[in-house]
Amino acid sequence: MRPWHWLHAPLLALAVALLLPALTVAGPTAPPSEPMSFDSELQEQRYQKLIRELRCTVCQNQNLIESNAPLANDLRRQIALMINDGADTDEVIDYMVARYGDFVLFRPPMKGITYLLWFGPVAMLLIGLAALGNILWRRRTQVTSEPLSTDEEERLRRILGDRGQDKT
C-alpha cells in the first residue's frame, strides 16, 4: 500500500472545486420568461454583464442570471429599466450597493469590513496546508516502535514455535 493513498480523495475534491468555476464561465443567460428589450446591442451587453456580476441577495451564492427568486426578477427588471433610462454601469452598481450593501457584489471593494471575504479563503488554505505539513512531519519523525523486551521476545518465540532456539 502506498503511504500517501489517503491524500488522493482530498486532492481530487480540490481539483474539482478549482476546475468547476472554469466550466461555468460560458454560463446561462437571463431566463427566457422575462423578455427585456433594449434600444441597442450595447445596452443588451451591459445588461448581461451586470446580471452576471451582481449577486441575488436571497440566494446562496447565485448571480442574478442564475436565480429564479422573485427578488432576482425584480432586480433584473430594475437594471433593465435603469439601462433603458440612460444610467451607466457605475450608476446601476451604486444604486444596488446603496440599497442592498456590498453583499450584492461578487467582487466587493477592498475595505475593513470585507477583508474576511478577500483574505479568509487564502488564510484557511494556508492553515490547512500548515496542519497537513505538521501531520506529515510528525509521522515522518515519529519513532515507530521500541525494541522488544526479553519477555516479549520469549513469548514471540513460543508463538512462532521457535521454543527458545536462536537462529543466527
The grid coordinates listed for 36 are: 427585456
The CATH number given to whatever domain includes residue 45 is 1.10.8.640
Each residue's pLDDT expressed in tens, for the chain with a length of 168 residues: 455 555 556 666 766 677 666 655 545 544 444 567 788 889 889 999 999 989 888 887 888 888 888 988 999 999 999 999 989 899 999 999 999 888 888 777 777 777 787 788 899 999 999 999 999 888 877 766 778 889 988 898 899 885 555 555
pLDDT of amino acid 122: 92
57 and 82 together in one domain: yes
104 and 115 together in one domain: no
pLDDT of amino acid 109: 77
Residues pairing with 63 in the sheet = 55
Where would I find the H helices in 57-162? 70-84, 89-100, 115-141, 150-160
Where would I find the H helices in 24-69? 41-53
105 and 117 together in one domain: no
Residue 167 forms part of a structural domain: no
pLDDT of amino acid 100: 87
Say whether 63 sits in a helix, a strand or coil.
Answer: strand
Q: Which residue, chain included where needed, has cell 450584492?
A: 104
Answer yes or no: pTM beyond 0.85. no
The grid coordinates listed for 113 are: 469590513
* Domain membership of residue 134 as a residue range: 110-142
Residue 62 forms part of a structural domain: yes
Say whether 52 sits in a helix, a strand or coil.
Answer: helix
The distance of Cα 98 from the centroid of its chain, to the nearest Å, equals: 27
Q: Which residues contact 8 (CB under 8 A, 6 or more apart)?
A: none
47 and 102 together in one domain: yes
